[in-house]
Structure 1
Amino acid sequence: MQEKATSGRMQRFLKTVEWLGNLLPHPAILFVWLSVGLLILSAVLSSMGISVIDPRPEGAKGRSEDGMIYVVNLLSGDGLAKIVENLVKNFTGFVPLGTVLVAMLGVGIAERSGMISAALRGLVMNTPKKLVTLTIVFAGIMSNTAAELGYVVLIPLAAMIFHSLGRHPLAGLAAAFAGVSGGYSANLLLGTVDPLLSGISQEAARIIDPDYIVGAEANWYFMAVSTFLISVLGYFVTEKIVEPSLGKYNPADADDPSVLQAKMDKLTALEKKGLIWSGVSMAIFCVLLAWTIVPADGVLRNAETGLVANSPFLSGIVVFIFVFFAIPGIVYGKIVGTLKTNNDIVNAMSHAMSSMSMYVVLVFFAAQFTAFFNWSNLGQVTAVAGANFLNDIGLTGPLLLVGFILICALINLMLGSASAQWAITAPIFIPMLMLTGYAPEMIQAAYRIGDSTTNIITPMMSYFGLIMAVAIRYKKDTGVGTLMAMMLPYSMIFLAGWTLLFCVWVFGFGLPVGPGSATYYTP
């Protein structure tokens, strides 16, 4: 009876989350309403004379003569003129836009050529049975370098693999889903999400420090180590919790019996040859790149200091992401015949850009919101007031960052887009936490934990419907609550384990979250 009551409460909770999430408009429309609300709020607070003491030292860039920060009325004549004059500049100058699009050009070539898909198939299908679960979770995490490929290819493939091994296909689906979405921010490589989030973080950090730079590599160390943590935790949850709870699979439950006869195609000799030579080209590129930064006189080191920090290598990391995927993708495509001409390469990049159309639309409105937030000084006023409140109550250290991670995880239940959520919350939390002494790079790493771990239990995640469709093919009575309940153990354990790693990493050992990334901020 107690188990039934607990299950009933969980179902009601999940349905409430789904209902609340459905009340939210599309993220692009949400930014429109937020921008309108922000303009009105700026006029109201400005008329009330709301202000705070500027914590920056005298003579600092942007500091007013009287040492106060006032809310600026954007509905005034000057405010409206500024909006009209800068509408296009806000969009074209939005840092994440160009960096993400450039990175996607390279990833698009590798994806369209079939290289990434073949690499995933080869990795999963040639793994010993005892390591299948661990490999699937790991492959899911790594697939995030190729945008939606993990959702479209790996998750259905994982369900098929588990069924072929006599295991429950939904357990395979869950393991892959946990890696692809629950471990969304973890990776051994820098992917398109890194420049996307760092660009937003940089814009938010400049509310306090106009010259602050957040590089795409800002969280690389921490996210690389997190890859192994999430892989192990995903393996544990699948083997010890999810698969035993699913029980033995009954083929009669399948909605589409054809999936039970589906077979996985092994890599052909040509595909293996393509992967070998694409790997060789990737290794050659890495050696050449290392030659420019490892030696003390490397041409891509900082010309003045001779260090890697603040070097052309780090500032141009997006270019190297593009080349890292583009060259092996072209080599693979030429060998297997998927990229026969130069036109095929251009078409591959064009296809990648067409898949980013929704992102471009979203960025237009997100860029306006971010600019309005900066111009109104609401970010600075909120940050100073919030930082003063946190200092007054003495909330600092691990407890403060754990609370921030939990807030991000909760917001993610309602707003599944990583870029949309960070574009809204970064201008508030980064300045606030900077004023309490923490660096934007470390704050961003904490955000990525909260953003990733609840992806798998919210219907607001853009691929949730696709996962549902795959699950129903194997078990026809699968509902939204069923899928969310199945993924909840991953979400809870990922959140707890990843947060613990963060606290030990940052506060226990004092390690940087990325190359040259600071943990603490000093004006």
Structure 2
Amino acid sequence: MQDNLQKKSAIQRFLGGVEWLGNLLPHPIILFMMMCVILVVVSAILSSMGVSVPDPRPNASGTIAVKNLLSAEGVGYMVSSLVKNFTGFAPLGTVLVAMLGVGIAEASGLISAGLRGLVIGAPKKLVTFTVVFAGVISNTAAELGYVVLIPLAAMIFHALGRHPLAGLAAAFAGVSGGYSANLLLGTVDPLLSGITQEAAKLVDPNYVVGPEANWYFMFISTFLVSFLGYFVTEKIVEPQLGKYDPASAADAEILKNKVEKLTPLEKKGLVWAGITALIFSLLLAWSIVPEDGILRNPKTGLVAGSPFLHGIVVFIFIFFGIPGYVYGRVTGSMKNNNDVVKAMSSSMSSMGMYIVLVFFAAQFVAFFGWTNLGSIVAVEGANLLTKLGLTGPSLFIGFILVCAFINLMISSASAQWALTAPIFVPMLMLVGYAPEVIQTAYRIGDSTTNIITPMMSYFGLIMAVAVRYKKDTGVGTLMAMMIPYSFIFIVGWTMLFYIWVFVFGLPVGPGSHTYYPAP
């Protein structure tokens, strides 16, 4: 008993320290503003000191020197490029276009009904696995995963005579811990690939990273994370929670809530939306599977470098938008074309903070590249890693752990990657790895500690749901419950990455390379 108290106390002290450190950091938008100012000052200091490194690029000669942003040339660049840096930032347009389609599917109720149908219709023996699986695939529309699936999972577990917090934990682990995995390409894929591409251009200005860059690996990861989440819930978390005592609920009314099954109209809507999605998928396959497919690369006849891959965001928009509209018309949630416009407008209005974040993140990335600080840090970092012999699997294990630790303080995937990609992507490219593989490793580290940081934006919502079922639930209680998921996820997912990349040598996505430059 004393040992358990000491362990809980240690966990609470650790989480309290994380929360304290995280609270010292400003809002990500303010953080990027401050980083831009710091970058300007540092560039002036290092430029006056004549800091430079030999140019490591093939067929290049000379050195790379720091350029001064406070010089006449630097000030002119900042003033003239501010708008171009923003509008030309790769993740901006791609994410907004994808969100238009997702917004229609979300507003019509298609995604919510699909998640409910998947979880409620699962056999009892597969409920836990299905809850985690549904959580993973819900990251296409992340808010619905948190707002709909997590409370629903707690309710379903209670209805089955199981501990509701076990259901909450399983759903939370899938939604947040498996954030990057998915069967389909979602909004997170173009978001991260755009940032990676901008960072890769510090080494290779012509390098392209598409939204599909990690799809193969993330597709398989969906099943791995679902199985690991099932294992942790069934073997560790639920046994530790013990039998649920209804008297511990802070809100007795919540125990009376019943799980709402899909109505006949909702089922009809899902059927017609599914038929629509199938027809679209068949048409898409007809355009890329045959050797003379119109969406294949017109020069090589291959899928690599094809209009299909370059326009994958458009197909994400259509894949969610049209079935979402069909579902809305069948169920009556969308009565006319104006409802479609409202749905798309609503999805864009919810992106306001993201757009502001992108504006300052784009300036930081562009300034970092123009000053040559990114290239210099990458060269020196790559040289250090080579001297230490960290150029193989151990390098990526360390990288994943670093990303996981940073995520405890900066839980936003886009904010963290926009801040760190200009350093890590060029550095690891110079060591010999392709940006697609680097991005895959980042996504593992970024996802696995989402569930154990109080800095996660939906943490308060999860706490509120937990307290309704168990009134003495605290931050330490919730985090202690989620730590096993985080540990098992990071170990299991890293092992999959090692086997995938270094044992079998498989590409992480269509046309993705493992090494840079490509063999």
The answer to whether the aligner puts 1:467 opposite 2:462 as a matched pair is: yes
Distance 1:3 1:472 in 2: 22
CA displacement, residues 419-461 of structure 1 (integer Å, 9 cap, x when unaligned): 0000000000000000000000000000000000000000111
Q: Is the 8 A contact 2:8 2:476 kept in 1?
A: no
Match of 2:237 among 239, 242, 256: 242
Aligned to 2:56: 55
Report how many residues are paired: 517
Aligned to 1:324: 319
Q: Is the 8 A contact 1:442 1:513 kept in 2?
A: yes
Helix, strand or coil at the partner of 1:69: strand
Q: Is the 8 A contact 1:370 1:427 kept in 2?
A: yes
Helix, strand or coil at the partner of 2:211: coil
TM alignment of 1:39-438, pairs within 5 A: 39-58=40-59, 67-438=62-433
Identity of aligned residues (%): 73
Distance 1:483 1:2 in 2: 19
Which stretch shifts more, 503-512 or 243-252?
A: 243-252
CA-CA distance at 1:4 after TM superposition: 2.7
CA displacement, residues 325-363 of structure 1 (integer Å, 9 cap, x when unaligned): 001001100000001100000001111111111111111
Distance 1:480 1:44 in 2: 44
Distance 1:145 1:330 in 2: 17
Q: Is the 8 A contact 1:383 1:435 kept in 2?
A: yes
Normalising by the residue count of structure 2, what TM-score does the alignment of the two structures yield? Answer: 0.99
Distance 1:503 1:43 in 2: 41
Helix, strand or coil at the partner of 1:86: helix
Distance 1:257 1:366 in 2: 46
Aligned to 1:457: 452
Helix, strand or coil at the partner of 1:370: helix
Distance 1:75 1:254 in 2: 60
Distance 2:58 2:407 in 1: 36
- The letter of the residue matching 2:65 is Y
Distance 1:71 1:481 in 2: 46
Distance 1:181 1:346 in 2: 30
CA displacement, residues 62-106 of structure 1 (integer Å, 9 cap, x when unaligned): x5xx51000111111211111011111111111100000000000
- The letter of the residue matching 1:141 is V
Q: Is the 8 A contact 2:119 2:134 kept in 1?
A: yes
CA-CA distance at 1:143 after TM superposition: 0.5
Helix, strand or coil at the partner of 1:219: helix
Aligned to 1:13: 14
Q: Is the 8 A contact 2:163 2:241 kept in 1?
A: yes
Aligned to 1:24: 25
Distance 2:467 2:323 in 1: 36
Distance 1:344 1:497 in 2: 44
CA-CA distance at 1:155 after TM superposition: 0.4
- The letter of the residue matching 2:15 is L
Distance 2:78 2:70 in 1: 9
Which stretch shifts more, 284-293 or 470-479?
A: 470-479
CA-CA distance at 1:147 after TM superposition: 2.8
Helix, strand or coil at the partner of 2:237: helix
CA-CA distance at 1:146 after TM superposition: 1.4
Helix, strand or coil at the partner of 2:212: coil
Normalising by the residue count of structure 1, what TM-score does the alignment of the two structures yield? Answer: 0.98
Which stretch shifts more, 206-215 or 142-151?
A: 142-151
Distance 1:522 1:77 in 2: 36
Aligned to 1:37: 38
Distance 1:52 1:516 in 2: 32
Q: Is the 8 A contact 1:171 1:242 kept in 2?
A: yes
CA displacement, residues 130-162 of structure 1 (integer Å, 9 cap, x when unaligned): 110000000000111113110010001001001
Distance 1:205 1:319 in 2: 23
Helix, strand or coil at the partner of 2:53: strand
Q: Is the 8 A contact 2:274 2:323 kept in 1?
A: yes
Which stretch shifts more, 132-141 or 8-17?
A: 8-17
Distance 2:422 2:354 in 1: 19
CA-CA distance at 1:43 after TM superposition: 0.7
CA-CA distance at 1:483 after TM superposition: 1.0
CA-CA distance at 1:265 after TM superposition: 1.3
Structure 1: tracts of 5 or more residues without a match: none
Distance 2:189 2:156 in 1: 31
Helix, strand or coil at the partner of 1:266: coil
Helix, strand or coil at the partner of 2:231: helix
Helix, strand or coil at the partner of 1:438: coil
Structure 2: tracts of 5 or more residues without a match: none
Helix, strand or coil at the partner of 2:447: helix
CA-CA distance at 1:217 after TM superposition: 0.1
Distance 1:482 1:344 in 2: 43
Q: Is the 8 A contact 1:274 1:335 kept in 2?
A: yes
Q: Is the 8 A contact 1:147 1:192 kept in 2?
A: no
Distance 1:23 1:289 in 2: 49
